[in-house]
Structure 1
């Protein structure tokens, strides 16, 4: 079961790219598109890697049973959490990387590249599903504790493995903590259409995304899951954050710079974050609940995570606005060795996310079977983060070696890690 904080939880809005693609082809008689896609610069946007790595660490900690480090995750202090960070950055980086491919090579070639990435994420999901099931089943059998299979949501697999596997391949069956990759797969499948529309009418594309979000809420649209219920992250609603990230990458953030630098925006963001923090205090200190007006509670609860409640989206926007204002693209701290572990994990998010799922269950098992004390909680959390950092470093080292040998035959290309982005 999820706590009330789980139903409600992230920051970072990366700045818009400075370089705008210029049309090198001869002038044509037809009308030019409303915007041009930005060309990838020589240096990667380290803020994206930093916050994506932070999201990975926060997701890992939040997947563990409540412990000391859990109180350092953002879901305890507002309405949004690391999921919003991850989806936004995925939309931003996907548009940034594949938008260039569409500009340079055309719609068909870009679509082929996107579908290739979708296939990679799908294979990673199937691999993760298989290993995760084996891990849970082995632990449950070895320690004669069937509660693990129930708690991790694989009871139906043990009852009907043939049917369940087929449903898993169709993305309709997922154990606990395995809802993110299916969401990415669906969103990435629609990326070619999103980019094609944004090439001609970026603002209209964002408006259509908002309309779909509103219709989803009005008519309770959702994707069904097996054996019953619905997707934990409804793609029909979460697409708004993904499309908004793509819109920002393709010029939207640059055009919003005046709004983001406004003092009015600054104080509105501060006020909203403070109000959200005060509301979350009532979740952990029931004696403060009398301070919440009854009508306000009836209006705002439940703060739905499945359909990306507007309060969650607004909380993310407030955090993003402050991040853009106080963390510039050229902030020297981005080159700090202290932040290097976060950036490395963010640069290899697909691999690190899958690893984090394994580590979260392993930590859950150790806490249940060995010790559930605060010291063990802390040790497991820190150990998991160090393992994720070490694996990210190894992957980065290997890619540097491979790139040196491949650089003679082909130029550097953007690596769309996780859902598009280095």
Structure 2
């Protein structure tokens, strides 16, 4: 058998930053929310989605490469497909609850504009056809784009992971080629009722693959480069450049900057400058937050790490709460104090869900193994 790569002990920084990404996605999805200014979206080309996809690729490779090494390719692939099914079920449940909540508010509070704003009008006009397209991941209400992207990337990951375990650099090169060709020819997955996916899987697979490549030895080989003074200076310069362009476009300081920002930070097809900006921020992480950073063991970091570890549940509840927050700000009050309350309350609820799920998963391990005595067939107990 060819040489295979299996990653070492889990890096808590992944959970920490994925937890922060989940919080940021929640905050960014609440329109006109001043608290969202704390997220990286407002200060550079990349945002929480880039972090989420990269770390998802890293953790997928970390987990399933070890399973393939320990249990074989077939078993590892089966476990990966089981995870894809879990993601799909979670998306469908979120889709249903999300659409019902939007429809309920639109109907009972006289805000029919929400049906168009959140792209669920098709469910009212053509419910069967639209639901069918939703099951195929072609139809997605507003803000429900990340999870279908994750599902598709994971669904096609098994054969790619096998290649990456044997030849990680060749697998990364193939991913780059797919990315370049997709951008050149404008290829994308079809969406319903028209157009393509907001997150083009053919482009975003590169960031996912880069995470997997990093997990299977790429990060260790790139350590020397990431820690060099030249790379650090270049990263600082690029982050400052991105900050100036983004702030200028956000505040309308120069109308000439707006089209520049749109090109550099284009999200659907993952603009190259988004990737460069993300990598520049990763260099900061390598320098400022080492793997053995004591802060990762602190009580302050614990809620963030737990939200990263229970990422699927936290992401789903965060998307739903973002609509609740939007509803509260639009229907009752959009004052700054309300925005802060909605934002903090949502983060607290997301953390509570993560802590509950973490605790509930320990109950099976704690439960004593009770000895059950079978009841004889035809006994008094059975007849009763």
Segments of 4+ in structure 1 off by > 6 A?
none
**Superposition deviation, residue 403 in structure 1:** 2.9
1:344: Cα distance to partner? Answer: 1.0
State how 1:149-168 maps to structure 2 within 5 Å.
149-168=115-134
What are the Cα deviations for residues 134-181 of structure 1, in whole angstroms up to 9, with x where unaligned? 111111111122011111110111100000010000000000010111
1:320 maps to 282
Alignment gaps of 5+ in structure 2 = 371-384
Give deviations 1:371-390, integer Å, cap 9, x for gaps: 11111111101110111111
1:36 aligns with 2:13: no
Residue-by-residue CA offset, 1:7-43 (whole Å, 9 max, x unaligned): xxxxxxxxxxxxxxxxxxxxxxx7x42x52225x3xx
1:241 aligns with 207
The Cα of 1:336 is off from its aligned counterpart by: 0.8
Q: 1:137 to 1:197 in 2, by over 3 A?
A: same
The residue that corresponds to 2:322 in the other structure is: 360
- After TM superposition, the score normalised by the length of structure 1 is 0.85
Structure with the bigger percentage of helix: 2
Partner of 2:363: 401
Judge which range, 194-203 or 81-90, deviates more: 194-203
Which residue in the other structure is 2:270 paired with? 308
8 Å Cα contact 2:246-2:261 kept in structure 1: no
Tell whether 2:350 aligns with 1:388. yes
For 1:97 and 1:86, the matched residues in 2 are separated by: 16
Cα pair distance change 1:362/1:406, threshold 3 Å:
farther
Bigger Rg, structure 1 or 2: 2
> Which residue, out of 281, 294, 301, partners 2:247?
281
Unaligned runs of 5+ residues in structure 1 are: 1-29, 409-422
- CA distance, structure 2, for counterparts of residue 300 and residue 103 of structure 1: 43
> More deviation in 368-377 or 74-83?
368-377
CA contact (8 A) 1:281 1:288 kept: no
Distance, in Å, in 2 between the alignment partners of 1:250 and 1:180 is 24
Q: Give 1:67 deviation, angstroms.
A: 2.2
- The Cα of 1:287 is off from its aligned counterpart by 3.3
Are 1:51 and 2:17 matched, yes or no?
Answer: yes
**Offset at residue 288 of structure 1 (A):** 4.0
User: How far off is 1:302 after superposition?
Assistant: 5.9
Question: 2: distance between equivalents of 1:132 and 1:407?
Answer: 40
Tell me the CA shift for residue 289 of structure 1.
4.8
Given that residues 188 and 197 in structure 2 are in contact (C-alpha distance below 8 angstroms), is that contact kept between their aligned partners in structure 1?
yes
Distance apart, 1:298 and its partner CA: 6.0
Structure of greater relative contact order (alpha carbons < 8 Å, 6+ residues apart): 1
Matched, 1:118 2:84: yes
Residue-by-residue CA offset, 1:333-364 (whole Å, 9 max, x unaligned)? 00111111111111101111110111110111
Paired with 2:316 and 2:6, the residues of 1 have a C-alpha distance of 31
Kept after mapping to 1: 8 A contact 2:65/2:161: yes
- Pick the aligned partner of 1:377 from 339, 344, 363: 339
Q: Deviations over 1:312-338 (max 9, x none)?
A: 010000001110121011100001111
Distance of 2:62 and 2:311 partners within structure 1: 16
**Distance in 1 (alpha carbons) for counterparts of 2:267 and 2:77:** 30
1:80 aligns with 2:46: yes
1:302 and 1:52 map into 2 onto residues whose CA distance is: 24
Q: CA deviation at 1:400?
A: 2.1
Change (3 A) 1:152 1:299: closer
Per-residue CA deviation, residues 106-144 of structure 1 (Å, 9 max, x unaligned), is: 111111000000000000011011111111111111112
1:78–1:277 Cα contact (<8 Å) kept = yes
Question: 1 CA distance for matches of 2:234 and 2:267?
Answer: 23
CA distance in 1, matches of 2:265, 2:91: 28
In the comparison of the two structures, how many residue pairs are matched? 370
TM-score, normalised with respect to structure 2: 0.93
- Equivalent-residue separation in structure 1 for 2:224 and 2:328 (angstroms): 51
Report the more deviating stretch, 319-328 or 233-242: 319-328
